[in-house]
Amino acid sequence: KKIVVEHLGVEADKEVDKANFIDDLGADSLDTVELVMAFEEEFGVEIPDDAAETILTVGDAVKFLEKAKAA
């Protein structure tokens, strides 16, 4: 959530777990690429392009990162 707040300028108290990055939080395609890169850097995982395309919400990112860390 912290990464989304920092990169998209979303208010910290806004509920974002189910919010769509583009439709609900006003991100554009460049923003979503930057978010994926920030997730990779913060959590030390590589997110392939095909997986990145499925990460549309904070919840999606959390699910992917949990699976990646468990692998």
- Catalytic residue set: 28
Q: In three state form, how does the secondary structure of the chain look?
A: CHHHHHHHCCCCCCCCCCCECCCCCCCCHHHHHHHHHHHHHHHCCCCCHHHHCCCCEHHHHHHHHHHHHHC
